Amino acid sequence: MSPGLIFGSFLVYTIVIFLISWITSRKADNQSFFIGNRKSPWFVVAYGMIGASLSGVTFISIPGWVGSTHFSYFVIVLGYVFGYAIISLVLLPIYYKLNLTSIYAYLNNRFGNSAYKTGSVFFLISRIIGASFRMYLVISVLQVFVFDHYGIPFWVTVVFFIILIQLYTLKGGIKTIVWTDTLQTTFMLASIIIAIGLILSKMDLGAMEMINKVWNSDLSTIIVTDINSKQNFLKLFLSGVFITIVMTGLDQDMMQKNLSCKNLKDARKNMTTLSLILVPVNLIFLFLGAVLYIYAAEYNLQLPEQSDHLFPMIAFDHLGTVAGIVFIIGLISAAYSSADSALTALTTSFSIDIMEYDKKYSHNENLLKKKRQTVHLLMALIIIFVIILFGLINNQAVIAQLFTLAGYTYGPLLGLYAFGLFTRIEVKDRLIPVIAIIAPVLSWIISHYSAAMFNGYEIGFELLIINGIFTFLGLIIIRKPIVKTV
């Protein structure tokens, strides 16, 4: 497939996104940007969040991951369902009761200003890393298959993509994203199904024949019982539960969409619907991965050095023009749906939590808008810098990197919220930033030396849980003494 046709498909899709942005951002104000004026239909939010939850990482990395970890990722997905239930039953009622725009304001109510700022900073770090990795994955694929052909440097490609996202989210924010995510989810899911259909047609196999082929192969292995393996099913299940709690329930990016719903009841409907839909959707992605590896073996294709490049290699080089267009639209849909909401959430958190513009300029809507737009541009520039940096250091499957890094940065948030929700103990607020730094450091030491310390046991995604426990225990250490009254 020619680079020009790939780029043309990308431009047409981008024009459609800008058209939706223009329609939805008319008469938008600051509350539209931050919480969509709390008028978003829950079913639209739920459907759109599928794309935001999956992202370009899922689109490419999970199919590529099947070669080394088979279907074990599905255990994490089952853990997601329980995690979403906890968010719906525990966290959402608190956020709506306090009428929050930024979810980290809860930490201010429970502990104090230091906890509030700490939670916000850790979110900013976490989301900048996560969004940058997701965009890096997508941009690097397009760089290899398109922009290298024209001699365009990687950094120019990065700047171009982020500016596009910055422009169409600048005015409408979350009000626009709720609707663009709906379109992007549709194209992403359609592209996966069409890609599977094209491969089956090329191999002259029916759907049931391929399902049997996958089921009878080693690729379909789901349960790993070896306790020392990072793919042990219990580790993965618990990791799935806690990854969902922190990367959705304690993440301003994902919760900002939920808080744009009209009320708690609608937000819960959204969360429940999302959790149930994600199970079959992720199973389809895993099935695609198995199909790709079976196809490669059938035609004796040399596998790419990076598993993330397996899907684009087969789509562009072996399945024809239609498959290439389908892939590129699906990939861009996945990239946009995660990056646009991340940029909006980063802007919201920095503006409200760090700079407190909503309080300083509550009397002046226009000045608040100018400050918010300045932050929006600043966040775009930071993401550009980090993506270029990641281009120099990436050396493993992106999804593994993302979750490993999230284990360090989201762990303190998990510990803070767990402590705040399940204890009534008061702590020394000014020392919370210290605990939030020590906990990840201790977690890294244990993770790095786990095999030697625990007789071959290797810590995987459960690093997040360990980090949260260290934070929880640290908060107990800095608790305030109980003052006895006579």
Which residue ranges form the domains of the chain, and what is each CATH number? 3-396 (1.20.1730.10)
- Would you give the DSSP letter of residue 350? I
Least confident range from 48-62, 103-117, 312-326, 433-447: namely: 48-62
In terms of average pLDDT, the best of 45-59, 172-186, 250-264, 290-304 is 290-304
User: Is 90 exceeded by the pLDDT of residue 458?
Assistant: no
What average pLDDT score do residues 86-97 get? 94
Give the whole-angstrom CA distance, residue 262 versus residue 31. 13
* CA 6 centroid distance within chain: 25
What average pLDDT score do residues 42-49 get? 79
Beta-strand (E) ranges in 17-141? none
Q: pLDDT-derived band of residue 414, with 50, 70 and 90 as boundaries?
A: very high
User: Is 50 exceeded by the pLDDT of residue 309?
Assistant: yes
Q: Report the SS3 class of residue 356.
A: coil
Give the whole-angstrom CA distance, residue 464 versus residue 243. 7
Give the whole-angstrom CA distance, residue 73 versus residue 213. 19
User: Is 80 exceeded by the pLDDT of residue 174?
Assistant: no
- Whether the Cβ atoms of residue 178 and residue 257 lie closer than 8 Å to each other: yes
Question: How many Cα atoms occupy the beta-carbon half-sphere of 89 within 13 Å?
Answer: 6
* CA 192 centroid distance within chain: 19
Amino acid (one-letter) located at 206: G
Q: Report the SS3 class of residue 101.
A: coil
* Distances in whole angstroms, Cα of residue 382 to Cα of each of 340, 343, 465: 14, 10, 29
Give the whole-angstrom CA distance, residue 8 versus residue 315. 17
Predicted model pTM: 0.83
In terms of average pLDDT, the best of 3-12, 88-97, 382-391, 405-414 is 88-97
Q: Report the SS3 class of residue 401.
A: helix
What average pLDDT score do residues 434-442 get? 94
User: Is 60 exceeded by the pLDDT of residue 21?
Assistant: yes
Give the whole-angstrom CA distance, residue 469 versus residue 467. 5
Give the whole-angstrom CA distance, residue 93 versus residue 106. 12
Burial of 44 (0-12, 13-18, 19+ CB in 10 A): middle
Tell me, what's the pLDDT at 399?
A: 45
Q: pLDDT-derived band of residue 32, with 50, 70 and 90 as boundaries?
A: low
Give the whole-angstrom CA distance, residue 367 versus residue 357. 9
Q: Report the SS3 class of residue 204.
A: coil
User: What are the tokens at 237?
Assistant: 């299940």
What average pLDDT score do residues 207-231 get? 86
What average pLDDT score do residues 197-209 get? 91
Cβ-based neighbours of 255, under 8 Å, separated by 6 or more: 91, 95, 103, 248, 249
Percent of the chain that is helix, strand, coil (3-state, to 5): 80, 0, 20
